[in-house]
């Protein structure tokens, strides 16, 4: 157990019986970027795990209403899998009762929020080191979740816990303001698929981007192109973790590009992370050659056909990887079969797929 994990446990023991407000809490004094990153990631993770326990306990009560559930036995069963990332809390949690879990959830939510607030008050170097540290840590958490899902699928059981939205507060560190979509005028006759007010709902999850980056393992000095980059999440993850990669994001909506480029500049990523306003359906626009392309179901049928035909042409000249999220998988499965590409790597029950041309 490291110092931050101990601090979290001490805070839980100290405050769990109290009704707290955020201004009643204090963070570890003089925490460096690595320590503050640990505090944020573990606090957010614990909150999700506590919510998971509350839900699972309720399900068991509904499923077995006549059976008396011993909370200690109920809790112990999860530390080999779902709760393994917070194993340092096992001894302390086993001393508690179900009634103690909701306050821990709220306390950890507040600690996670305060960590982001504190980070935003620090200088540029601190912010960048904090963000890189967070991304590395949550990448490992998502990989643990991926391995659990694989094991569950082998025995035809669902994975009950989900970390997909656990770390979305990191958007605040990047100043991603999705409210700018509200009231956005949409050309119903246009060829781009736009989502007014969709915000976070159509941004690739951090789990998606980090899992893709882990398994792609791009070679040094690769080029990575995001076709439909939204507010730039993919670019910030790639740019922070792999400064050797040349990243280009194309997005139809100008105000999203303005936000993306502002964040890129604030984190001094602008030399290798670039965002451009572009209607990809335009016949005269040619997609640059790259080693990796990313698609999160961003287009109408016509735009898909135009974009994918170009990617196939590029694949005839060089080996490429194409990452799909959501319904884009269907388009690439057909192309993969026609072009005799290897079977894709699939994650999150095929919601994320990695296609390689060879």
Supply 335's token pair: 């192309």
Q: Which residues of 241-280 are buried (b: 16+ CB within 10 A; e: fewer)?
A: bbeebbbbbbbbbeebbebbbbbbeebebeebbbbeebeb
Per-residue model confidence as pLDDT tens digits over 82-136 = 999 999 999 999 998 999 999 999 999 999 999 999 999 999 999 999 999 999 9
Check whether residue 169 and residue 186 sit in a common domain: no
Report the chain's mean pLDDT, rounded to a whole number: 90
CA Rg value for the chain? 22
pTM, full prediction:
0.92
Please state the rounded mean pLDDT for residues 152-159: 92
How high is the pLDDT of residue 186? 57
Looking at the fold, whether 46 and 135 belong to one and the same domain comes out as: yes
The span from the CA of 31 to the CA of 52, in Å, is 29
Please classify residue 309 by burial: count the beta carbons closer than 10 Å to its beta carbon, then call 0-12 exposed, 13-18 middle and 19+ buried: exposed
Same-domain pairing of 191 and 163: no
> Final residue of a domain: which of 133, 157, 173?
173
Q: What range does the domain containing 236 cover?
A: 179-356
Complete DSSP assignment for 51-110: HHHHHHHHHHHHH-TTSPP-HHHHHHTTTTTTTGGGGGGHHHHTTS-GGGHHHHHHHHHH
Residue 346 sits in the same domain as residue 212: yes
Q: Are residues 194 and 340 in the same domain?
A: yes
CATH number of the structural domain spanning residue 189: 3.40.50.150
Q: 173, 200, 220: which is the final residue of a domain?
A: 173
Task: Please tell me whether residues 200 and 335 are part of one structural domain.
Answer: yes
Mapping DSSP to helix (H, G, I), strand (E, B) and coil, where does residue 290 land? coil
Domain end call among 148, 173, 198: 173
Do 195 and 159 share a structural domain? no
Q: What is the pLDDT of residues 7-38, one digit of tens each?
A: 999 888 887 655 555 556 778 888 999 999 99
Same domain? For 148 and 239 the reply is no
The residues pairing with 251 across neighbouring beta strands, listed in sequence order, are 277
150 with 217, same domain: the answer is: no
Residue 192 sits in the same domain as residue 163 = no
Upper half-sphere CA count for residue 128 (Cβ side, 13 Å): 14
Q: What is the pLDDT of residues 171-230, one digit of tens each?
A: 999 998 888 777 676 554 555 554 444 445 567 899 999 999 999 999 999 999 999 999
pLDDT class of 319 with cuts at 50, 70, 90:
very high
Which residues have CB under 8 Å from 313's CB, separation 6+?
none
Length of the chain: 358
Shared domain for 264 and 117, answered yes or no, is: no
Same domain, 168 and 291: no
């Amino acid at each position: 157990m490291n110092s931050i994990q101990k601090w979290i446990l001490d805070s839980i023991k100290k405050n769990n019986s109290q009704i707290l407000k955020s201004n009643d809490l204090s963070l570890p004094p003089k925490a460096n970027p690595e320590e503050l990153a640990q505090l944020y990631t573990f606090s957010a993770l614990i909150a999700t795990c506590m919510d998971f326990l509350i839900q699972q306990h309720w399900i068991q009560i509904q499923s077995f209403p006549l059976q008396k559930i011993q909370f200690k036995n109920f809790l112990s069963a999860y530390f080999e899998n779902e709760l393994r990332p917070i194993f340092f809390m096992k001894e302390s949690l086993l001393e508690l009762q179900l009634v103690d879990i909701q306050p821990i959830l709220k306390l950890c939510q507040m600690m996670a929020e305060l960590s982001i607030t504190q980070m935003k008050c620090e200088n540029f170097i601190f912010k960048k080191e904090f963000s890189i540290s967070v991304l590395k840590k949550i990448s490992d958490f998502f990989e643990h979740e991926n391995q659990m899902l694989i094991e569950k699928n082998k025995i035809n059981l669902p994975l009950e816990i989900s970390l997909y939205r656990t770390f979305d507060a990191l958007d605040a560190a990047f100043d991603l303001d999705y409210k700018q979509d509200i009231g956005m005028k949409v050309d119903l006759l246009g060829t781009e698929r736009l989502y007014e007010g969709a915000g976070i709902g159509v941004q690739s999850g951090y789990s998606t981007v980090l899992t893709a980056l882990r398994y792609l393992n791009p070679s040094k000095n690769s080029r990575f192109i995001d076709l439909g980059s939204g507010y730039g999440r993919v670019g910030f993850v790639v740019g922070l973790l792999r400064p050797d990669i040349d990243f280009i994001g194309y997005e139809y909506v100008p105000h999203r590009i303005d936000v993306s480029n502002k964040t890129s500049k604030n984190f001094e990523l602008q030399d290798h992370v670039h965002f451009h306003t572009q209607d990809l359906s335009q016949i005269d626009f040619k997609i640059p050659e790259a080693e990796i392309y990313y698609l999160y179901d961003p287009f109408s049928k016509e735009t898909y056909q135009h974009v994918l035909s170009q990617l196939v042409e590029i694949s005839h000249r060089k080996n490429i990887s194409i990452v799909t999220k959501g319904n884009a998988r269907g388009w690439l499965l057909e192309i993969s079969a026609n072009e005799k590409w290897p079977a894709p790597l699939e994650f999150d029950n095929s919601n994320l797929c990695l296609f390689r041309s060879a």
